[in-house]
Amino acid sequence: MNFQYIRYDVKDRIATITLNRPEVFNAVNRAMMDELIAVFDETDRDDKVSVVVVTGEGKGFCGGADLSKGADGAFNKEKNDAAALDGSPVRPDGTIDYSKESARDGGGKLALRIFNSLKPVIGAINGAGVGIGASMLLPMDIRIASDKGRLGFVYARRGIVFECCSSWFLPRLVGIAKAMEWSLSGRVLGADELKAGGLVSEVVPPEQLLPRAYEIAREIADNTAPVSVALMRQMAWRSLGMSHPMEAHRIESRGICTRGRTLDAKEGVQSFLEKRLPNFPCTVSKDMPDYFPWWDEPKYF
Protein backbone atom coordinates (compact mmCIF):
# COMPACT_ATOMS: atom_id res chain seq x y z
CA MET A 1 0.00 0.00 0.00
CA ASN A 2 1.12 3.56 -0.72
CA PHE A 3 0.80 6.21 1.99
CA GLN A 4 1.59 9.92 2.05
CA TYR A 5 1.83 10.65 5.77
CA ILE A 6 3.00 7.36 7.25
CA ARG A 7 5.59 4.75 6.30
CA TYR A 8 4.71 1.08 6.37
CA ASP A 9 7.32 -1.69 6.27
CA VAL A 10 7.14 -5.43 6.93
CA LYS A 11 10.23 -7.49 7.67
CA ASP A 12 10.48 -10.93 9.25
CA ARG A 13 6.81 -10.86 10.35
CA ILE A 14 7.15 -7.51 12.11
CA ALA A 15 5.30 -4.52 10.65
CA THR A 16 6.58 -1.01 11.40
CA ILE A 17 4.22 1.96 11.13
CA THR A 18 6.10 5.27 11.25
CA LEU A 19 4.26 8.57 11.59
CA ASN A 20 5.99 10.58 8.89
CA ARG A 21 5.36 14.32 9.07
CA PRO A 22 8.55 15.26 10.94
CA GLU A 23 8.40 18.88 9.76
CA VAL A 24 5.32 19.34 12.00
CA PHE A 25 6.35 16.82 14.70
CA ASN A 26 4.10 14.20 13.05
CA ALA A 27 0.93 16.15 13.83
CA VAL A 28 -2.20 14.30 12.76
CA ASN A 29 -4.39 15.67 9.97
CA ARG A 30 -7.46 13.95 8.58
CA ALA A 31 -5.52 12.25 5.79
CA MET A 32 -3.01 10.77 8.26
CA MET A 33 -5.89 9.58 10.43
CA ASP A 34 -7.44 7.78 7.46
CA GLU A 35 -4.08 6.22 6.58
CA LEU A 36 -3.56 4.96 10.13
CA ILE A 37 -6.97 3.31 10.18
CA ALA A 38 -6.33 1.77 6.75
CA VAL A 39 -2.91 0.41 7.70
CA PHE A 40 -4.38 -1.51 10.65
CA ASP A 41 -6.85 -3.06 8.22
CA GLU A 42 -3.80 -4.16 6.23
CA THR A 43 -1.93 -5.64 9.21
CA ASP A 44 -5.01 -7.67 10.13
CA ARG A 45 -5.32 -9.04 6.58
CA ASP A 46 -1.66 -9.95 6.15
CA ASP A 47 -0.69 -13.32 7.63
CA LYS A 48 2.96 -12.36 7.11
CA VAL A 49 2.51 -9.84 9.94
CA SER A 50 2.66 -11.22 13.49
CA VAL A 51 3.40 -8.02 15.46
CA VAL A 52 3.02 -4.30 14.79
CA VAL A 53 5.43 -1.59 16.01
CA VAL A 54 4.36 2.08 15.90
CA THR A 55 6.86 4.93 16.17
CA GLY A 56 7.48 8.47 14.92
CA GLU A 57 9.95 9.95 12.44
CA GLY A 58 12.36 12.61 13.67
CA LYS A 59 12.52 14.13 17.13
CA GLY A 60 8.87 13.75 18.12
CA PHE A 61 6.44 10.88 18.33
CA CYS A 62 3.33 12.94 17.55
CA GLY A 63 2.55 16.58 18.22
CA GLY A 64 -1.19 15.91 18.47
CA ALA A 65 -3.84 17.25 16.11
CA ASP A 66 -2.61 19.50 13.33
CA LEU A 67 -3.36 23.00 14.63
CA SER A 68 -1.91 24.85 11.63
CA LYS A 69 -5.42 25.91 10.55
CA GLY A 70 -6.37 27.04 14.04
CA ALA A 71 -9.12 25.74 16.32
CA ASP A 72 -11.67 25.65 13.50
CA GLY A 73 -9.47 23.37 11.42
CA ALA A 74 -8.85 20.98 14.28
CA PHE A 75 -12.04 20.97 16.36
CA ASN A 76 -14.95 22.86 14.73
CA LYS A 77 -17.34 20.25 13.39
CA GLU A 78 -19.48 22.79 11.56
CA LYS A 79 -16.57 24.16 9.49
CA ASN A 80 -14.21 21.22 9.43
CA ASP A 81 -16.74 18.52 8.48
CA ALA A 82 -19.09 20.44 6.21
CA ALA A 83 -17.76 18.43 3.26
CA ALA A 84 -18.25 15.05 4.94
CA LEU A 85 -20.46 12.53 3.16
CA ASP A 86 -23.31 13.08 5.59
CA GLY A 87 -22.70 16.82 5.84
CA SER A 88 -22.10 18.99 8.85
CA PRO A 89 -23.65 17.75 12.12
CA VAL A 90 -24.65 21.33 12.96
CA ARG A 91 -28.28 22.05 12.08
CA PRO A 92 -29.41 25.44 10.67
CA ASP A 93 -30.66 26.46 14.12
CA GLY A 94 -27.24 25.79 15.65
CA THR A 95 -28.14 22.56 17.47
CA ILE A 96 -26.03 19.46 16.83
CA ASP A 97 -27.16 16.15 15.33
CA TYR A 98 -24.91 13.79 17.30
CA SER A 99 -26.06 10.78 15.27
CA LYS A 100 -24.18 11.91 12.15
CA GLU A 101 -20.95 10.17 11.26
CA SER A 102 -19.35 13.61 10.91
CA ALA A 103 -20.04 14.28 14.61
CA ARG A 104 -17.71 11.49 15.65
CA ASP A 105 -14.25 12.11 17.09
CA GLY A 106 -11.75 10.95 14.49
CA GLY A 107 -9.23 10.00 17.15
CA GLY A 108 -11.86 7.77 18.72
CA LYS A 109 -12.29 5.92 15.44
CA LEU A 110 -8.53 5.33 15.33
CA ALA A 111 -8.45 4.11 18.95
CA LEU A 112 -11.31 1.71 18.27
CA ARG A 113 -9.50 0.37 15.21
CA ILE A 114 -6.34 -0.30 17.23
CA PHE A 115 -8.47 -1.84 20.01
CA ASN A 116 -9.93 -4.28 17.46
CA SER A 117 -6.53 -5.24 16.03
CA LEU A 118 -5.93 -8.96 15.58
CA LYS A 119 -2.18 -8.44 15.93
CA PRO A 120 -0.38 -7.22 19.08
CA VAL A 121 0.75 -3.60 18.89
CA ILE A 122 3.91 -2.12 20.45
CA GLY A 123 4.24 1.65 20.84
CA ALA A 124 7.86 2.85 20.58
CA ILE A 125 7.77 6.40 21.93
CA ASN A 126 10.77 8.19 20.42
CA GLY A 127 9.93 11.73 21.57
CA ALA A 128 7.09 13.96 22.69
CA GLY A 129 3.46 12.93 22.17
CA VAL A 130 0.58 15.18 23.21
CA GLY A 131 -3.19 15.02 22.76
CA ILE A 132 -3.96 12.32 20.21
CA GLY A 133 -0.20 11.73 20.08
CA ALA A 134 -0.47 10.39 23.63
CA SER A 135 -3.99 8.93 23.42
CA MET A 136 -3.38 6.73 20.36
CA LEU A 137 -0.82 4.81 22.42
CA LEU A 138 -3.38 3.75 25.02
CA PRO A 139 -5.06 0.90 23.07
CA MET A 140 -1.65 -0.50 22.16
CA ASP A 141 -0.57 -3.56 24.13
CA ILE A 142 3.00 -2.67 25.09
CA ARG A 143 4.55 0.79 25.33
CA ILE A 144 8.26 1.49 25.69
CA ALA A 145 9.88 4.92 25.64
CA SER A 146 13.16 6.54 24.82
CA ASP A 147 14.47 8.57 27.72
CA LYS A 148 13.53 11.56 25.53
CA GLY A 149 9.93 10.35 25.36
CA ARG A 150 7.29 12.62 26.91
CA LEU A 151 3.50 12.42 26.87
CA GLY A 152 0.84 14.96 27.72
CA PHE A 153 -2.91 14.48 28.02
CA VAL A 154 -3.39 18.19 27.35
CA TYR A 155 -7.08 18.39 26.43
CA ALA A 156 -8.14 20.83 29.16
CA ARG A 157 -5.24 23.11 28.25
CA ARG A 158 -6.65 23.31 24.71
CA GLY A 159 -10.21 23.95 25.88
CA ILE A 160 -11.52 20.53 24.84
CA VAL A 161 -12.04 17.20 26.67
CA PHE A 162 -10.84 13.59 26.56
CA GLU A 163 -10.71 12.21 23.01
CA CYS A 164 -9.45 9.06 21.29
CA CYS A 165 -11.47 7.01 23.83
CA SER A 166 -8.89 8.04 26.44
CA SER A 167 -11.51 8.47 29.19
CA TRP A 168 -12.00 4.68 28.91
CA PHE A 169 -8.41 3.57 28.38
CA LEU A 170 -6.36 5.84 30.65
CA PRO A 171 -8.04 5.03 34.00
CA ARG A 172 -7.89 1.32 33.20
CA LEU A 173 -4.17 1.51 32.50
CA VAL A 174 -2.96 3.75 35.33
CA GLY A 175 -5.92 3.95 37.75
CA ILE A 176 -8.49 6.70 38.16
CA ALA A 177 -6.44 8.86 40.56
CA LYS A 178 -3.37 8.97 38.32
CA ALA A 179 -5.53 9.48 35.22
CA MET A 180 -7.20 12.47 36.88
CA GLU A 181 -3.91 13.96 38.04
CA TRP A 182 -2.36 13.69 34.59
CA SER A 183 -5.35 14.82 32.53
CA LEU A 184 -6.83 17.57 34.71
CA SER A 185 -3.46 19.28 34.96
CA GLY A 186 -2.63 18.61 31.33
CA ARG A 187 1.07 18.72 32.12
CA VAL A 188 3.64 16.94 29.96
CA LEU A 189 5.10 13.88 31.68
CA GLY A 190 8.66 12.64 31.36
CA ALA A 191 9.55 9.04 30.55
CA ASP A 192 10.49 8.14 34.13
CA GLU A 193 7.15 9.37 35.48
CA LEU A 194 5.30 7.48 32.76
CA LYS A 195 7.15 4.32 33.78
CA ALA A 196 6.51 4.90 37.49
CA GLY A 197 2.82 5.37 36.69
CA GLY A 198 2.71 2.10 34.78
CA LEU A 199 1.92 3.53 31.35
CA VAL A 200 5.23 2.48 29.81
CA SER A 201 7.03 -0.72 30.74
CA GLU A 202 10.59 0.31 29.87
CA VAL A 203 12.69 3.43 29.34
CA VAL A 204 15.78 3.04 27.17
CA PRO A 205 18.36 5.32 25.49
CA PRO A 206 17.17 6.66 22.10
CA GLU A 207 19.49 4.44 20.08
CA GLN A 208 18.10 1.34 21.82
CA LEU A 209 14.40 2.15 21.37
CA LEU A 210 13.63 0.39 18.09
CA PRO A 211 16.08 -2.48 18.68
CA ARG A 212 14.35 -3.15 22.01
CA ALA A 213 10.89 -2.86 20.43
CA TYR A 214 11.91 -5.36 17.76
CA GLU A 215 13.39 -7.66 20.39
CA ILE A 216 10.03 -7.77 22.17
CA ALA A 217 8.24 -8.24 18.85
CA ARG A 218 10.64 -10.99 17.82
CA GLU A 219 9.95 -12.96 21.00
CA ILE A 220 6.22 -12.86 20.23
CA ALA A 221 6.60 -13.64 16.52
CA ASP A 222 9.02 -16.55 17.00
CA ASN A 223 7.37 -18.33 19.91
CA THR A 224 3.60 -17.90 19.81
CA ALA A 225 0.67 -19.02 17.69
CA PRO A 226 -0.88 -16.08 15.76
CA VAL A 227 -4.46 -17.29 16.25
CA SER A 228 -3.89 -17.75 19.98
CA VAL A 229 -2.40 -14.25 20.22
CA ALA A 230 -5.31 -12.72 18.29
CA LEU A 231 -7.83 -14.39 20.60
CA MET A 232 -5.93 -13.62 23.81
CA ARG A 233 -5.55 -9.96 22.88
CA GLN A 234 -9.31 -9.59 22.56
CA MET A 235 -9.98 -11.75 25.62
CA ALA A 236 -7.79 -9.56 27.83
CA TRP A 237 -8.99 -6.16 26.60
CA ARG A 238 -12.66 -7.11 26.62
CA SER A 239 -12.43 -8.68 30.06
CA LEU A 240 -11.99 -5.14 31.41
CA GLY A 241 -15.73 -4.64 30.92
CA MET A 242 -16.83 -7.97 32.37
CA SER A 243 -18.97 -7.95 35.50
CA HIS A 244 -18.11 -11.47 36.78
CA PRO A 245 -15.30 -14.03 36.24
CA MET A 246 -17.93 -16.42 34.88
CA GLU A 247 -17.94 -14.32 31.70
CA ALA A 248 -14.22 -14.96 31.31
CA HIS A 249 -14.71 -18.66 32.08
CA ARG A 250 -17.25 -19.01 29.27
CA ILE A 251 -14.93 -17.51 26.67
CA GLU A 252 -11.84 -19.33 27.94
CA SER A 253 -13.71 -22.64 27.84
CA ARG A 254 -14.61 -22.07 24.20
CA GLY A 255 -11.00 -21.23 23.47
CA ILE A 256 -9.59 -24.31 25.16
CA CYS A 257 -12.16 -26.58 23.46
CA THR A 258 -11.43 -25.24 19.98
CA ARG A 259 -7.72 -24.47 20.14
CA GLY A 260 -6.88 -27.75 21.85
CA ARG A 261 -8.09 -29.67 18.77
CA THR A 262 -5.98 -27.73 16.26
CA LEU A 263 -2.67 -28.46 14.57
CA ASP A 264 -1.31 -25.45 16.46
CA ALA A 265 -1.78 -27.25 19.79
CA LYS A 266 -0.06 -30.36 18.45
CA GLU A 267 2.83 -28.28 17.15
CA GLY A 268 3.09 -26.37 20.43
CA VAL A 269 3.53 -29.58 22.40
CA GLN A 270 5.78 -31.27 19.83
CA SER A 271 8.13 -28.30 19.52
CA PHE A 272 8.36 -28.12 23.32
CA LEU A 273 9.27 -31.81 23.54
CA GLU A 274 11.79 -31.48 20.71
CA LYS A 275 13.27 -28.29 22.19
CA ARG A 276 12.92 -26.26 18.98
CA LEU A 277 11.08 -23.14 17.83
CA PRO A 278 7.49 -23.87 16.83
CA ASN A 279 6.11 -23.56 13.32
CA PHE A 280 2.42 -22.93 13.88
CA PRO A 281 0.35 -23.73 10.76
CA CYS A 282 -2.93 -21.92 11.58
CA THR A 283 -3.46 -18.39 10.26
CA VAL A 284 -5.58 -15.49 11.45
CA SER A 285 -7.10 -15.02 8.00
CA LYS A 286 -8.44 -18.59 7.77
CA ASP A 287 -8.50 -20.31 11.15
CA MET A 288 -10.25 -18.12 13.71
CA PRO A 289 -12.73 -20.33 15.66
CA ASP A 290 -16.46 -20.44 14.97
CA TYR A 291 -17.34 -18.48 18.13
CA PHE A 292 -15.23 -15.46 17.08
CA PRO A 293 -16.26 -12.71 17.56
CA TRP A 294 -18.20 -13.53 20.70
CA TRP A 295 -19.35 -9.95 21.32
CA ASP A 296 -21.82 -7.64 19.61
CA GLU A 297 -19.94 -4.57 18.45
CA PRO A 298 -21.66 -1.47 19.84
CA LYS A 299 -23.00 1.05 17.33
CA TYR A 300 -21.99 4.69 17.54
CA PHE A 301 -25.60 5.86 17.72
Q: Is residue 97 part of a domain?
A: yes
Q: 21-56, pLDDT tens digit by residue? A: 999 999 999 999 999 999 999 999 999 999 999 999
Mean pLDDT of 157-176: 97
Tens-place pLDDT, residues 203-228: 999 999 999 999 999 999 999 999 99
How do the residues of the chain divide into helix, strand and coil, expressed in percent and rounded to 5?
Answer: 45, 15, 40
**Rounded CA gap, 168 and 176, in Å?**
10
Residue range 170-199: average pLDDT?
98
Specify whether the CB–CB gap between 121 and 95 falls below 8 A: no
Residues 53 and 166 reside in one and the same domain? yes
b (16+ CB within 10 A) / e for 68-104: eeeeeebbebeebbeebeeebbbeeeeeeeeebebbb
Give mean pLDDT, residues 192-202.
98
Query: Could you read off the pLDDT of 2-19 as tens digits, one per residue?
Result: 899 999 999 999 999 999
Instruction: For residue 1, tell me if it sits in a domain.
Output: no
CATH of residue 45? 3.90.226.10
List Cβ neighbours of 245 (8 Å cut-off, separation of 6 or more).
none
Residue type, 161: V
Boundaries of domain holding 186: 6-219
Is 155 a member of any domain?
yes
Question: Is pLDDT at 78 greater than 90 in this prediction?
Answer: no
- pLDDT tens-digit profile of 81-111? 545 567 899 999 999 999 999 999 999 999 9
For the chain, the distance separating the N- and C-terminal CA atoms, rounded to the nearest angstrom, is: 32
Residue 73 has pLDDT above 90, yes or no: no
The domain boundary, picked from 219, 234, 257, lies at: 219
With cut-offs at 50, 70 and 90, classify the pLDDT of residue 1: confident
The answer to whether residues 235 and 176 belong to one domain is: no
Q: Which of 192, 219, 246 is the last residue of a domain?
A: 219
- In this structure, the answer to whether residues 208 and 300 fall within a common structural domain is no
Are 284 and 227 contacting, i.e. CB atoms less than 8 angstroms apart? yes
pLDDT confidence of residue 210: 98
Say whether both 135 and 203 belong to one domain: yes
What is the pLDDT, as a whole number, of residue 80? 52
Residues 139 and 286 in one domain: no
Domain boundary among 186, 219, 252: 219
Cis peptide before 171 (omega within 30 of 0): no
How many domains is the chain partitioned into structurally? 2
Tell whether 70 and 88 lie within a shared domain.
yes
Are both 78 and 159 inside the same structural domain? yes
Whole-number pLDDT of residue 33: 97
Same-domain check for residues 96 and 229: no
